[in-house]
Amino acid sequence: MAPQLDAYFKSVDDLSSNFVERLSQAVAIPSISAEDERRPDVVKMGHFLKKQLEDLGAHMEARELGQQPHKEHLTLPPAIIGRYPAKKDESKRTVLVYGHYDVQPANLSDGWNTEPFKLTVDEQGRMYGRGSTDDKGPVLGWVNAIEAHQKAGVEFPVNLLMCFEGMEEYGSEGLDDFIIQECKPGKFFEDADVCCISDNYWLGTKKPCLTYGLRGCSYYSIEISGPGQDLHSGVYGGTAHEPMTDLVRVMASLVDEEGNILIPGIKELVAPVTEEEKEVYKNIDFTMDNLYESLGSKTGLFESKERTLMGRWRFPSLSLHGVEGAFSAPGAKTVIPAKVTGKFSIRTVPNMEPADVDELVFKYVNDVFAKLKTKNKLNVSLQHAGKWWVASPNHPNFTAAAKAVERVWGVKPDLTREGGSIPVTLTFEQATGKNVLLLPMGSSTDAAHSINEKLDKRNYIEGTKLLGSYLHYIAEEPMDQ
């Protein structure tokens, strides 16, 4: 395998400027799944990806997923699925890869130093742009790997099945049922031997990792309304119950300043931490400085790395995200908003069942609201939910990936869990019955979901080598599981 990989690596290096250009074209499409008016761009991005792969000879299909639940006027972006080589080679293993081509919202006015939808590369090779690390860079890593094999004249080692979605940042609407259907006998994904997802991040900036766990995410809205329209605070302030005042009280009652979730019953749903498990956290290559570097401040909740890692991977957290309908522009506007909608989410962990979490949340929010004795109206609802996932890293899929990491980066990877969520991971595991590996490309300082999101060129290029060499190692790894 060594000469083949050497030739492949050289090809990746030779093509590196084409790969950056490919990422630049992808970042230029503002495929924001959460913004209704951007839906045509999400679809455009799906077709861009499809065309890139078709040009390399892959068999690709854009599969419609129907209308968006609760927003029936919107058509969901298609699942872009494919197979490379176009005709299955029965003598080779089949690897199913997943990624997403939608991105989080981004505006220059949020505080970006550069245009979010223009890939901007600085002198250190940091490639800034929305979606660069989450998840356009990693998705294009698979495309690049195919191209580099072709240009190097190196035989592609596996049958690659691909599933790319455009709604991951909005709860993967519509995808679960599609995956379940397509994993059935005779369908597109039926013959997967293993699955691989590149859509998370290293713990620090130096050491690659393989990831075997994710937190779930239950995302809620609290709508409070009262007045028939927005009001002048000079004329009506002091005469009416104000929705924003009620909402601030309800939201403040969800979590305290130390990050403790104040909803009764939530803590009891969490699996107890075992002594054996505590040892795992001690051995992870992570420092508080890694945290401070990626936070961009020293505002961590805990002093120790073990407690910090547990706060990210092992315990639930509740975050307040924003308020729709509230005055948020610069300057001063003396308005009383008539209807405000607060958004928050809970990251869930074993053994929290999403339905149990919902019940506790709804009861608590209604109880807190009732105590306010306000005449306004409350509506609390779940926007979307995805369950947590924890797997065993003792599988040839992980062994193959560890070999690839050592070959490309020259170090053994850490085995990590991830605080973020990729809702379909569990679906792939259950629907295929196969092992799922998370193989991250980007690092802890990439600022996914934040302003100035970036992917280091080194991570993109070496990451492309990593994805390709993983396919070579998985092709040869003994597997009876």
Annotated binding site for substrate: 199, 232, 334, 347, 421, 449
Among 147, 193, 199, 453, which residue interacts with ligand L7UNP4BN (rule: CB under 6 A)? 199
Report how far apart, in Å, the C-alpha atoms of 16 and of each of 29, 57, 457, 464 are.
21, 20, 9, 10
Active-site residue, selected from the candidate residues 102, 165, 453, 456: 102
Is residue 171 involved in binding ligand L7UNP4BN (CB under 6 A)?
yes
d(CA 454, CA 110): 15
**Amino acid identity of 45?**
M
CB closest to ligand L7UNP4BN, residue no: 420
- Which of 320, 344, 318, 341 lies closest to 261 in space, CA to CA? 318
Burial class, 114, CB count within 10 angstroms (exposed 0-12 / middle 13-18 / buried 19+):
middle
User: Of 22-30, 61-69, 368-376, 419-427, which part binds ligand L7UNP4BN (CB under 6 A)?
Assistant: 419-427
d(CA 354, CA 346): 10
Among 120, 144, 416, 421, which residue interacts with ligand L7UNP4BN (rule: CB under 6 A)? 421
Residue count, binding to Zn ion (CB under 5 A) = 3
Among 135, 147, 414, 446, which residue interacts with Zn ion (rule: CB under 5 A)? 135
Is residue 165 involved in binding Zn ion (CB under 5 A)?
no
d(CA 237, CA 216): 41
Count of other CB atoms within 10 angstroms of residue 186? 5
Query: From Zn ion, ligand L7UNP4BN, none, which one binds at residue 119 (CB under 5 to 8 Å depending on kind)?
Result: none
Among 125, 300, 350, 420, which residue interacts with ligand L7UNP4BN (rule: CB under 6 A)? 420
Least distance in angstroms from the C-beta of 288 to ligand L7UNP4BN: 22
Among 134, 147, 173, 477, which residue interacts with ligand L7UNP4BN (rule: CB under 6 A)? 134
Least distance in angstroms from the C-beta of 99 to ligand L7UNP4BN: 9
Q: Which is nearer to ligand L7UNP4BN, 245 or 450 (CB)?
A: 450
Q: Which is nearer to ligand L7UNP4BN, 27 or 217 (CB)?
A: 217
Q: Are 90 and 191 in contact (CB under 8 A)?
A: no
- Which of 34, 360, 319 lies closest to 171 in space, CA to CA? 34
- Report how many helices (DSSP H) and strands (DSSP E) the chain contains, helices first: 14, 20
Q: Please enumerate, by residue number, every residue annotated as part of a binding site.
A: 100, 134, 169, 199, 232, 334, 347, 421, 449
Q: Which is nearer to ligand L7UNP4BN, 352 or 422 (CB)?
A: 422
Q: Which is nearer to Zn ion, 104 or 399 (CB)?
A: 104
Is residue 199 involved in binding Zn ion (CB under 5 A)?
yes
CA torsion through residues 198, 204, 205, 206, sign: negative
- Start-to-end CA distance of the chain, whole Å, equals 23
- Helix or strand holding residue 54 (H, E): helix 39-55
102 flagged as catalytic = yes
Is residue 456 involved in binding Zn ion (CB under 5 A)?
no
d(CA 105, CA 110): 10
Rounded to the nearest 5°, which phi and psi values hold at 453? Answer: -60, 140
Is residue 169 involved in binding ligand L7UNP4BN (CB under 6 A)?
yes
**β 454-456/389-390 pair status:** unpaired
**β 71-75/67-68 pair status:** antiparallel
Is residue 446 involved in binding ligand L7UNP4BN (CB under 6 A)?
no
293 flagged as catalytic = no
Among 102, 134, 147, 246, which residue interacts with Zn ion (rule: CB under 5 A)? 134
Active-site residue, selected from the candidate residues 41, 147, 165, 168: 168
Which residues are catalytically annotated?
A: 102, 168
Query: Which residues of this protein are in contact with ligand L7UNP4BN, per CB under 6 A?
Result: 134-135, 168-169, 171, 199-200, 217, 219, 386, 420-422, 448
